[in-house]
Structure 1
Amino acid sequence: MGTLLRHARLVTGEVVDVQLDGDVVAAVLPAGTAPAVPDGQQLDLSGYLLDTAFAEPHAHLDKVFTADRVDARGGTLQDAMTQYEAVLRAATDADVQQRARRALRSLVASGSTAVRTHVGCGRLLGVRAIESLVAVREQMADLVDLQIVAHIGGPGPEETWRQHRRRLAAALDAGADVVGGNPALDRDPSAAVQECVAVAAEAGVPLDLHIDETTDPSVATLRHLAQLAPQAGVPVTASHCVSLGAMDAGLVAEVAAEVAEANIAVVTLPATNLYLQGRSGWPRLRGLTAVDALTAAGVQVAAGGDNVRDPFNPVGRLDPLETASLLVLAGHQDTARAWQLVTGAARGVLGLPPAGPAAGARADLVAVRADSVGEAIALAPGERMVWRAGQLISRTAVDHSGPAHEGER
């Protein structure tokens, strides 16, 4: 037998002992009833909330930590893309890798054991950034499961989709796991969706597209993706889907039903969408998709952090509890649902096996110093422990000393 986690509080409020065996949870028993094990093989989790490790279903590790390199004024999606082009021109492989490793270490410390990152493979960098992230994936394989999305924008004035197909093929050959792109940047977004679906289907890899990243309710590329997705024969994810949140209720229900029928997963990204979207016009619309309608229709929904400290979002903590908090504040989700969207639901979108404190589940776990899910989301306590495949990979302690903290647990 492996490690015994004693007196852990589950999200249900139950206090239990959790026995780990290799990379799985062997047993979950009432607190105090687990057989004795040597001291070196047990941890007392009194005061901690234990659950499925977080997963980050949508990051941009090639962009992270570049906010201070640009003029952050403007705040629109087009402004951010223009600013980031200057960053790209000066990027080096060593710089991309250093920033990605730093971000992954923060994500792991926050409790994430799986991350999907979108990485550009367009005309400025080609596959260089893909190769850099593949190297980082190998370097950090013991800490995190990293999925790499080969992300392509629309062709430039003299470019064609034949060139883009070659770039995507080269990115997959270099080690990317998923085909991605932003059809809205193409001269013909519908045709771009069709091309991306075809590339993913031919390669037999998942597809994850940036879709409808606008509050304009007339934009509904998601519906076209729903028509094509069943033909692909691969898992399909639509990230952002912001315009869905600006449509009238009847149309939202129709689109959500089509998305569910096509078995498309949706990833909502509150932080960056709240920052970039709704800056013009009145009333100011929230940059969020219709989470409730999608959920009611049976769509698999998860939430991610998206951009952090780059031209697309100058803030961010690389902590899924920040995403969960925004889901409560701006997305009107209750705390239990917000928690699920960054834990089990996020793992599901990434195609990962179930994890958490349940017998037979993979032992990817996070323990947060909190009495409840609501307290964890509200306070985002720094004290956390993280297990990946049964191994303790991160432990963050906070020194609560001094008169102001007397009497605390």
Structure 2
Amino acid sequence: MRQRLLRSAGTMDGTHVDVLVDVDGTISEVGNDLDPGPDVDRIDLDGWLLLPAATEPHAHLDKAFLAEVVHNPTGDLIGAIEAMRRSRHLLTVDETVERAERAARRMAANGYCAVRTHADLTTEHGLTSIEALTEVRRRVADLIDVEIVALCGWPVTGPGGADQRQLLRTAMQVGADLVGGVPHLEAHGGSGTIAEATDFLLSVADEYRRPVDLHTDETLDPTADGLDVLASNVLGGFDLPVTASHCVSLGQRSADDQARTAVRVAEAGISVVALPHTNLFLQGRGHAPMPRALTAVEALRTAGVNVAAGADNLQDPFNPLGRACPFETAGLMMLTTHVSASDAWAMVSNHSARALGRAESPMPANGLVVGERADLLAVRAGSLREAIAEAPGERRVWRAGLERAET
């Protein structure tokens, strides 16, 4: 690969720059009128907006496009879970591969360079999702990086959780990259607690030396304390990367409680993933007034927590909509949490990449981090606000400095 010079590109902060991409696929220089010499591939981006490419921090590729097959008549979280349980007999490895690959390719075409997907892992479902997503990861490796989280079912504690505990260990041996689980649902079907479930899941992560991404407090119950429990475990000595997804209950607490928890989460270095699509659909039914049902984004950001944003489910019983598009997620974050366009895009790109360990440095105003991998997205738009509003169809994607072919 030769050096590449992306010329006259518009950026997030309204400036125009040249971007030099080195032979190793990283951004080596950002400036005006760069002239690295003749032995460089020059790409004219006048009229294009150049952005850091998106990273999807939380997906369920194994459930994608099931909305017409698996119905959720109650429309809430437990209803969706029960609908999936009733339909497990319909889901095979082959048909899961077809749906999940279609979703991954759509994400790649829309500007994602990586996706972290949770894979259902229950005693009824076995390793079906793990096997399917492992195959999908192989098939799309030249288009998008796929991380697989073993989404452990419940209970995992006590005698009733023995089979589930063994299944999780098997999943870690046959293809899962991260340990996942749902501690706040531990009492459903068992007698364990959030703390006990969290302890077990972290112990397995430590056993296999893998990162952790837990579905945390996906409930409007303000007494759910899974995020606090998780922070305590990390501060107590757990030394692997940790992500907490959803964290809805934190948004139902007082401002003082939110601030106290946010400070501990920041101290622990836990990334938090907000998931507006699915939580807006599932949460708040029957509540008056109806809450927005997202985590406490402002309190977390004020405390210095790395807050990412993802789309979660894609046209399935948990969310009947979704376009696998980062502009959709960014727009929802602007509408529901009142962040700026630049902050919203940071949450679907740089912050999500940092949650996945794919980036280290915070994003500057123009969005282009010198020294980081050149994962870039160009769209026909005059501003970031316009791009988020319009979601332009004409897109160009560079992955580690190489422009990606059609997906």
TM-score (norm 1): 0.92
**Structure 1 range deviating more: 18-27 or 353-362:** 353-362
For 1:67, what is the secondary structure of its paired residue? Answer: coil
Query: Take 1:359 and 1:186, find their aligned partners in 2: how far apart are those partners?
Result: 44
Q: Deviation string for 1:136-185 (max 9, x for gaps)?
A: 11121111111100011212999633322211111111111100001122
1:402 alignment counterpart: none
1:346 alignment counterpart: 352
Query: Are the aligned partners of 1:66 and 1:87 in contact in 2 as well (CA < 8 Å)?
Result: no
Q: Mark the CA change 1:227 to 1:3 in structure 2 (over 3 Å): closer, same or farther.
A: same
Query: Are the aligned partners of 1:17 and 1:34 in contact in 2 as well (CA < 8 Å)?
Result: no
Query: Take 2:350 and 2:162, find their aligned partners in 1: how far apart are those partners?
Result: 38
Alignment counterpart, residue 310 of structure 1, candidates 313, 316, 332: 316
2:217 alignment counterpart: 212
How much does 1:251 deviate?
Answer: 0.9
The equivalences for 1:252-331 within 5 A come to 252-331=258-337
**Structure 1 range deviating more: 9-18 or 76-85:** 9-18
2:31 alignment counterpart: 29
The equivalences for 1:243-254 within 5 A come to 243-254=249-260
Q: Mark the CA change 1:200 to 1:327 in structure 2 (over 3 Å): closer, same or farther.
A: same
1:47 alignment counterpart: 47
1:120 alignment counterpart: 120
The equivalences for 1:128-167 within 5 A come to 128-155=128-155, 160-167=160-167
How much does 1:36 deviate?
Answer: 4.8
Query: Are the aligned partners of 2:156 and 2:165 in contact in 1 as well (CA < 8 Å)?
Result: no
Q: Mark the CA change 1:354 to 1:168 in structure 2 (over 3 Å): closer, same or farther.
A: same
Query: Are the aligned partners of 1:237 and 1:267 in contact in 2 as well (CA < 8 Å)?
Result: yes
For 1:232, what is the secondary structure of its paired residue? Answer: coil
**Identity percentage of aligned residues:** 45
How much does 1:395 deviate?
Answer: 6.0
Structure 1 counterpart of 2:232, one-letter code: Q
Query: Take 2:42 and 2:350, find their aligned partners in 1: how far apart are those partners?
Result: 25
Matched, 1:195 2:173: no
Query: Take 1:135 and 1:58, find their aligned partners in 2: how far apart are those partners?
Result: 19
Query: Take 2:92 and 2:398, find their aligned partners in 1: how far apart are those partners?
Result: 33
Structure 2 counterpart of 1:378, one-letter code: A
Q: Deviation string for 1:232-280 (max 9, x for gaps)?
A: 2111111000011111111111111121122211000011000000112
**Structure 1 range deviating more: 162-171 or 295-304:** 162-171
Query: Are the aligned partners of 1:363 and 1:389 in contact in 2 as well (CA < 8 Å)?
Result: yes
1:94 alignment counterpart: 94
Q: Mark the CA change 1:275 to 1:387 in structure 2 (over 3 Å): closer, same or farther.
A: same
Gaps of 5+ in 2: 362-366
2:67 alignment counterpart: 67
How much does 1:190 deviate?
Answer: 2.2
How much does 1:34 deviate?
Answer: 5.5
The equivalences for 1:223-262 within 5 A come to 223-230=228-235, 231-262=237-268
For 1:280, what is the secondary structure of its paired residue? Answer: coil
For 1:299, what is the secondary structure of its paired residue? Answer: coil
2:374 alignment counterpart: 363
**Structure 1 range deviating more: 346-355 or 219-228:** 346-355
Matched, 1:13 2:14: yes
The number of equivalent residue pairs is: 394
Gaps of 5+ in 1: 397-409
Query: Take 2:360 and 2:395, find their aligned partners in 1: how far apart are those partners?
Result: 21
Structure 1 counterpart of 2:218, one-letter code: E
TM-score (norm 2): 0.92
Query: Are the aligned partners of 1:387 and 1:394 in contact in 2 as well (CA < 8 Å)?
Result: no
Query: Are the aligned partners of 1:108 and 1:394 in contact in 2 as well (CA < 8 Å)?
Result: no
Q: Mark the CA change 1:350 to 1:311 in structure 2 (over 3 Å): closer, same or farther.
A: same
Query: Take 1:340 and 1:97, find their aligned partners in 2: how far apart are those partners?
Result: 30
How much does 1:345 deviate?
Answer: 0.4
Alignment counterpart, residue 378 of structure 1, candidates 389, 398, 405: 389
How much does 1:32 deviate?
Answer: 6.9
Query: Are the aligned partners of 1:383 and 1:395 in contact in 2 as well (CA < 8 Å)?
Result: no
Query: Are the aligned partners of 1:5 and 1:44 in contact in 2 as well (CA < 8 Å)?
Result: yes
2:182 alignment counterpart: 182
Q: Deviation string for 1:367-387 (max 9, x for gaps)?
A: 121111111111111111111
For 1:284, what is the secondary structure of its paired residue? Answer: coil
- CA RMSD, 1 decimal: 2.0
For 2:337, what is the secondary structure of its paired residue? Answer: coil
For 2:200, what is the secondary structure of its paired residue? Answer: helix
